[in-house]
Amino acid sequence: MSIKVVTDSTADLPEELIREYGIEVVPAYVLLNGKTYRDGIDISQDELYRRMVDMQETVTTSQPPPADFAEVYRSLLKEVDHIISIQVTGRLSGIYASALSAKNMLEEGSRVHVVDSQLTSMGMGMLTVLAAQMARAGNTIEKIVNEIKAAINNTHIWATFDTLKYLHRGGRIGKAKALVGSMLNIKPLLTMRDGEIFPIGVARTRNRAIDRLIELANSITNIQDMAIVHSTSPDEAQSMKYRLGNISLPRPISISKLGPALGVHGGPGTLVVAVRKKAEEISQRTISELAEKRLFTLPSLPEIKLPKLRFVSQ
C-alpha cells in the first residue's frame, strides 16, 4: 500500500524534512499591501518580516481554496493508494475546511484522509513527519490515522513574542495596551489547548521569556521529537538548541523559520518550541505544576487579547 502525506505551509516544516520524506505542502496565502502571495513560493519568510518592519499596513492571511488541495490530491492519487492530509487547527483557520471540501469534490475522495491537527507550526509539522515515517515503514492508512490522532494529545507547543506592536497592528490589542506593554517590556507566553491559543503568562525580559520556554521543554519526559521555530532570530534558536541538548532524542532537534500563521501576529522576534511525547498524554497538570512553582505568575498588567489565527476567504 502506497501512502503520500500532505500538509499546509503553516506547519513551518524545514525544507530538509520536506525533501527527506517527500511531503507535499499546500501554501497558505499572504495578503500584503493589496497583493496576494503564496507562502514560501511568491514570498519568503525573510521578505515577509522585512516588509512587516518597513511597512505600516496590516499583513493578513488567507486559506488556500479547495481547488488548490484538489489539484494536489488528484495528481497524487494517480500514483498512490491513499493520502493523509494533516492541517492546521480547524478552530482557528479555514484551511482544514478547504481540505475537506477538496476531498468531497473528488470521485476518489474516500482515499483522502483529512486530519485536524488541533495545532499549528511545528506542533503540526512533527505530526506530519511522524505520518511520513509511518508510511515509509509500510504501516496501513488506518494505523497511521489512528496514531496521528493519538499523538495530538502528546504534542505541545509554546511561543513568545518580542513585541506587542504587531498584535496591535493586527487589531488584537488596543494602542494604549500595546504602549503600556512596550513600556513595561513584557513578553507574552502562549500555548495551544484543544486547537486554540491560550496565554500561560508573561516575562519581564526577552531572556526570561526564553528561559521559560526552555523550562517548559525540560519539564516534559520521554520526548520523541522536538522543534524550535523562529521568525528572525537564528542565533537565539541555535542557543536554545544547545541549551536543550541534554535531552535524549531519537533524532536531532530541528530548527525552522516561522511562517505567516503566527508570524503576522507575532512579527520579528517570535520564538516557538514544540515537543511530542511518547505514550502517555502531556497533561494540563504539567502547566498547573509549573504555575504552582510560580513560573507563570502574572504581574499587574493590562489584559491582552491574544491572536486568533483566522484565515479568511478571498
Give yes or no for a contact between 49 and 29, defined as CB atoms under 8 angstroms apart: no
pLDDT, residue 196, reads 85
In the CATH hierarchy, which top-level class contains the domain 155-292?
A: alpha beta
Give the amino acid at 126: M
Q: Which band of pLDDT confidence, cut at 50, 70 and 90, is reported for residue 57? A: low
Cα separation, 291 vs 156, whole angstroms: 16
Give yes or no for a contact between 113 and 81, defined as CB atoms under 8 angstroms apart: no
Q: Which band of pLDDT confidence, cut at 50, 70 and 90, is reported for residue 64? A: very high
15: cell is 525544507
In the block, cell 495530538 appears at 152
pLDDT, residue 56, reads 62
| Max intra-chain CA distance, the chain | 59
The residue ranking higher by pLDDT, 55 or 51, is: 51
Among 24-38, 40-54, 109-123, the range scoring the smallest mean pLDDT is: 40-54
Q: Which band of pLDDT confidence, cut at 50, 70 and 90, is reported for residue 247? A: confident
220: cell is 516534559
Phi, psi of 193 (to 5 degrees): -135, 130
pLDDT, residue 303, reads 45
* Start and end residues for every CATH 3.40.50.10170 domain found in the chain: 3-151
pLDDT, residue 150, reads 94
Question: 4 pLDDT exceeds 70?
Answer: yes
The residue ranking higher by pLDDT, 98 or 165, is: 98
- Fold classification of 3-151 (topology level): Rossmann fold (3.40.50)
54 Cβ partners below 8 Å, 6+ apart?
none
pLDDT, residue 282, reads 44
Cα separation, 125 vs 21, whole angstroms: 12
pLDDT, residue 174, reads 42
The residue ranking higher by pLDDT, 264 or 275, is: 275
* Start and end residues for every CATH 3.30.1180.10 domain found in the chain: 155-292
Question: 296 pLDDT exceeds 70?
Answer: no
The mean of the pLDDT values for the chain is 83
Pairing of strands 187-193, 196-203: antiparallel
Q: What is the pLDDT of residues 102-148, one digit of tens each?
A: 999 999 999 999 999 999 999 999 999 999 999 999 999 999 999 99
Q: In sequence order, what E strands does the chain have?
A: 3-8, 24-26, 29-32, 35-38, 60-62, 82-87, 112-116, 155-160, 187-193, 196-203, 223-230, 254-257, 271-277
Question: 178 pLDDT exceeds 50?
Answer: no
Q: Helices in 137-224 by DSSP H: which ranges?
A: 141-152, 165-169, 175-184, 206-218
pLDDT, residue 215, reads 95
Cα separation, 274 vs 174, whole angstroms: 29
Question: 266 pLDDT exceeds 90?
Answer: no
Among 86-100, 183-197, 225-239, 280-294, the range scoring the smallest mean pLDDT is: 280-294
